[in-house]
Amino acid sequence: MQGMLEGKVAVITGAGSGVGRAAVKIWTEHGAKVIAADINLPSAEESVQLAGAQQGQAKAVECNVADPDSVIAAIAAAVETFGRLDVIYNNAGITINPEPGKGMLRLVDAPLDQMKRVEDVNINGVIFGCQAAIRQFEAQGSAGAIVNTASVAGLMGYGGVLYGATKGAVVNLTRTLAIELANQGIRVNSVCPAGMLTHYAGLDPDSPQKDQILEGMAKAHPLGRAIDPGDTATAAMFLASDMASNITGVNLPVDGGLTAGRKIGG
């Protein structure tokens, strides 16, 4: 079978863990050449190794998405290593870590330095990724695809207030940028996952309580399954691929039906 991303060159941010790690594996299996970018270089290197991609098909780079020059350097690495850029997957994201035993912090209790950090990574990080990718698409004279990782927290009230505000910004940036770029053939979409058991929010995917946590997550979704990072990476791959060539401005929930509504009665 021809891979969904055969011949495409992609930069994936937040590639060292969770969704990003899953994307490095699944996207390379589908023929993409990938720059795995993460603020934590050893974790990105491990993702490349775990992907078991063909020699030279994926390369790890250190990249802080909150620093525009660092993002530009990641795009430059794609051009230098693979000759061009077709896709940026702006996936890196963080939240204010809950205090043990206290759950999500209330907005009024959020420390200013952490608030600024979350805004910088979740909003500016996506903006810098979009800007750098658009400049490269324009320099190549090509179209291209931008995929962002937003969240169901950008579509509905769900979890931390500030985090939801940043993801709401990503959702609307996705729509407005899609309109702005449509006449250049550059598509902009996002995936909006529900809760996943990754390192996000200080969770531990290798926790001894893993099965109980996943069971609890599964119950929150009409389809009755927890969302796996691979579910999100696969949805993002579809949006990045030519199979979605007439789709732009979409914020695609990957949530087992969570945002579809509630069943009333039996």
Indicate whether 91 belongs to the interface with ligand NAD (CB under 6 A).
yes
- Among 88, 92, 145, 235, contact with ligand NAD (rule: CB under 6 A): 92
- The verdict on 93 binding ligand NAD (CB under 6 A) reads yes
Which alpha helices (H) appear in 142-209, and where do they start and end? 161-181
Q: What is the C-alpha to C-alpha distance for residues 148 and 93, in angstroms, rounded to an integer? A: 10
Position 200 contacts ligand NAD (CB under 6 A): yes
Q: Which is nearer to ligand NAD, 7 or 42 (CB)?
A: 42
Residue 189 makes contact with ligand NAD by CB under 6 A: no
Is 163 annotated as catalytic?
yes
- Contact of 60 with 38, CB cutoff 8 Å: yes
Q: Does 43 bind ligand NAD (CB under 6 A)?
A: yes
The answer to whether residue 234 forms part of the interface with ligand NAD (CB under 6 A) is no
Q: Which residue has the tokens 């809760």?
A: 195
Task: Give every CB contact of residue 123 below 8 A, 6+ residues apart in sequence.
Answer: 166, 169, 170, 173
In order, the DSSP letters of 202-247 are: G--TT-TTHHHHHHHHHHTSTT--PBPHHHHHHHHHHHHSGGGTT-
Annotated active-site residue in 89, 158, 163, 200: 163
Per CB under 6 A, 65 contacts ligand NAD: yes
Q: Which residue has 């732009």 as its token pair? A: 248
- The strand ranges marked E within the chain are 9-13, 33-38, 58-62, 87-90, 144-149, 186-193, 251-254
Residue 251 contacts ligand NAD per CB under 6 A: no
Mask for 155-184, x = binds ligand NAD (CB under 6 A) = ------------------------------
Give me the residues that bind ligand NAD (CB under 6 A), please: 13-14, 16-20, 38-40, 43, 63-66, 91-94, 121, 125, 149, 151, 193, 195-196, 198-200, 229
